[in-house]
Amino acid sequence: MTYSTDLRKKVLQFIEECGSITEAARLFGISKPTIYNWLKLNKNEGSLAPKRPSRPWRKIIPSVLMDLLEKHPDWTLKQYGEYFGMTQPSMSNAFARLKITQKKDFALQRTE
């Protein structure tokens, strides 16, 4: 959760008028590194508006993965990972999110 722009302005105004960063941190209940970041942000950008968090681009598009599964059902997680540029655990998580279960090798099962 981010602090509001109004609070950021009040903190910086308090520092300019009468106090130190330590006093402002204690009075407003904000850490000193946060205040230093706000000072730096105000100096560099001239604005105290919070930035939107950047979300990493997802490497796997579910429809592409499903098409690939139909074309290459015998591939291992390692091969799917190489195709998408991901690790085996990441591919395993992707399969779990899409509710795709592991391959079953019926030839290795014991017969009674």
- Express each pLDDT in 3-42 by its tens digit: 899 999 999 999 999 878 999 999 999 999 999 999 999 9
DSSP state letter for 109: S
Q: What is the pLDDT of residues 53-103, one digit of tens each?
A: 665 557 788 888 889 888 988 888 889 889 988 889 988 888 888 888 876
- Give 20-85 as a DSSP string: -HHHHHHHHT--HHHHHHHHHHHHHHS--PPPPPP-PPPS--HHHHHHHHHH-TT--HHHHHHHHT
Q: Does pTM top 0.85 for this prediction?
A: no
pLDDT confidence of 106, banded at 50, 70, 90? low
CA–CA gap between residue 77 and residue 96 (Å, rounded): 12
Query: How far from 20 is each of 10, 11, 33, CA to CA, in Å?
Result: 13, 10, 13
Question: Is the distance from CB of 15 to CB of 35 less than 8 angstroms?
Answer: yes
